[in-house]
Structure 1
Amino acid sequence: MTRLAATAAAVTLPLFALTACGSVGAGSSSDDDQKLTVWAWDPAFNIYAMEEAEKAYQADHPEFELEIIETPWDDLQAKLTTIAQSQQFEQLPDIFLMQNNAFQKNVINYPDLFSDYSGSEIDFSQFPDGVTAYSQIDGDQYGVPFDSGTAINALRTDVLAEAGYTVDDFTGITWDEYLTKAEDVLAKTGKPLLSGVAGSSDILMMILQSAGASLFDADGQPTIAGNDELVDAIEVYAELVESGVLVEVNSWDEYISTFVNGSVAGAINGIWITGSIQTADDQAGKWAITDLPKLDGVPGATNYSANGGSSWAISSTGDAELAADFLASTFAGSTDFYDTILPKSGAVANWIPAGDSSVYAQPSEFFGGQPIFQQVVEFGAQVPSNNTGVYYYEGRDAVSAAMTKILGGTGIDEALDEAQANVEFAMN
Structure 2
Amino acid sequence: MKKLLTILLASFMLLTACSSNSDKSTNASNEGTNGGSTGKKQEITVWAWDKAFNIAAMETAKGIYAQKNADVTINVIENAQDDIIQKLNAGLNSGTTKTLPNIVLIEDYRAQSFLQAYPDSFFALDEFINAADFADYKIGPTSFEGKQYGVPFDSGVAGLYVRTDYLQEAGYTVDDLQDVTWDEYIEIGKAIKEKTGKDMLTQDPNDLGLIRMMIQSAGAWYLQEDGKTPFIANNAALEDAFNTYKNIMDANIVKVISDWSQFVGAFNSGDVASIPTGNWITASVKAEAEQSGKWAIVPFPTLANTASSVHASNLGGSSWYVMNVDGKEAAADFLKETFGSNVDFYQTLVTEIGAIGTLKAAAQGEAYTAPDEFFNGQTTIADLASWTEQIPNVNYGMHTYAVEDILVVEMQNFMNGTELETVLNNAQTQAETQIR
Q: Tell me how far 1:319 sits from its aligned partner.
A: 2.0
Secondary structure in structure 2 of the residue aligned to 1:218 = coil
More helix by share: 2
Structure 2 residue 56 is the aligned partner of structure 1 residue 51: no
| Equivalent AA in structure 2 for residue 201 of structure 1 | L
The answer to which of 329-338 and 205-214 deviates more is: 329-338
Secondary structure in structure 2 of the residue aligned to 1:55 = helix
Closer/same/farther in 2, CA of residues 29 and 241 from structure 1, 3 Å limit: farther
Paired position in structure 2 for 1:115: 123
| Equivalent AA in structure 2 for residue 328 of structure 1 | K
The answer to which of 345-354 and 305-314 deviates more is: 345-354
* Matched-pair contact (CA < 8 Å) for 1:241–1:247: no
Q: Tell me the alpha carbon deviations over residues 367-416 of structure 1, each in whole angstroms, 9 at most, x when there is no partner.
A: 11111111111110000012221222111221222112211222211111
Structure 2 residue 388 is the aligned partner of structure 1 residue 380: yes
Paired position in structure 2 for 1:407: 415
Q: Tell me how far 1:256 sits from its aligned partner.
A: 1.4
TM-score by length of 1: 0.90
| Equivalent AA in structure 1 for residue 189 of structure 2 | A
The answer to which of 236-245 and 414-423 deviates more is: 414-423
| Equivalent AA in structure 2 for residue 56 of structure 1 | I
Paired position in structure 1 for 2:178: 171
Q: Tell me how far 1:334 sits from its aligned partner.
A: 1.2
Paired position in structure 1 for 2:79: 71
Structure 2 Cα separation of the partners of residues 402 and 328 of structure 1: 44
Matches within 5 A, 1:392-403: 392-403=400-411
| Equivalent AA in structure 1 for residue 254 of structure 2 | L
Matches within 5 A, 1:266-281: 266-281=274-289
Paired position in structure 1 for 2:17: none
Structure 2 residue 132 is the aligned partner of structure 1 residue 125: yes
Paired position in structure 2 for 1:82: 90
Q: Tell me the alpha carbon deviations over residues 165-216 of structure 1, each in whole angstroms, 9 at most, x when there is no partner.
A: 1222111121222122222222222122211212210001100100111110
The answer to which of 244-253 and 376-385 deviates more is: 244-253
Paired position in structure 2 for 1:420: 428
Structure 2 Cα separation of the partners of residues 76 and 127 of structure 1: 25
Closer/same/farther in 2, CA of residues 158 and 61 from structure 1, 3 Å limit: same
Matches within 5 A, 1:96-245: 96-120=104-128, 122-219=129-226, 220-245=228-253
Q: Tell me how far 1:111 sits from its aligned partner.
A: 2.2
Selected match of 1:371 from 373, 376, 379? 379
Q: Tell me how far 1:33 sits from its aligned partner.
A: 5.2
Q: Tell me how far 1:90 sits from its aligned partner.
A: 2.3
* Matched-pair contact (CA < 8 Å) for 1:199–1:403: no
Structure 2 Cα separation of the partners of residues 255 and 89 of structure 1: 40
TM-score by length of 2: 0.89
Matches within 5 A, 1:250-269: 250-269=258-277
Paired position in structure 1 for 2:25: none
Gaps in structure 2 of 5+ consecutive residues: 1-32
Q: Tell me the alpha carbon deviations over residues 231-251 of structure 1, each in whole angstroms, 9 at most, x when there is no partner.
A: 100111111111022322122
Structure 2 Cα separation of the partners of residues 280 and 288 of structure 1: 14
Q: Tell me the alpha carbon deviations over residues 93-144 of structure 1, each in whole angstroms, 9 at most, x when there is no partner.
A: 1100000000001111222321111222x12112111112111212211111
Paired position in structure 1 for 2:9: none
Structure 2 Cα separation of the partners of residues 182 and 353 of structure 1: 37
Give the alignment's Cα RMSD to 1 decimal.
1.6
Secondary structure in structure 2 of the residue aligned to 1:296 = coil
Secondary structure in structure 1 of the residue aligned to 2:307 = coil
The answer to which of 206-215 and 244-253 deviates more is: 244-253
Structure 2 Cα separation of the partners of residues 381 and 292 of structure 1: 13
State the percentage of identical aligned residues: 35
* Matched-pair contact (CA < 8 Å) for 1:42–1:72: yes
Gaps in structure 1 of 5+ consecutive residues: 1-27
Structure 2 Cα separation of the partners of residues 320 and 290 of structure 1: 42
Structure 2 Cα separation of the partners of residues 257 and 30 of structure 1: 51
Give 1 or 2 for the bigger CA radius of gyration: 2
Closer/same/farther in 2, CA of residues 49 and 362 from structure 1, 3 Å limit: same
Instruction: Return the structure number with greater relative CO, CA threshold 8 A, min gap 6.
Output: 1
Aligned residues: 400
Q: Tell me the alpha carbon deviations over residues 313-333 of structure 1, each in whole angstroms, 9 at most, x when there is no partner.
A: 000113222222211211121
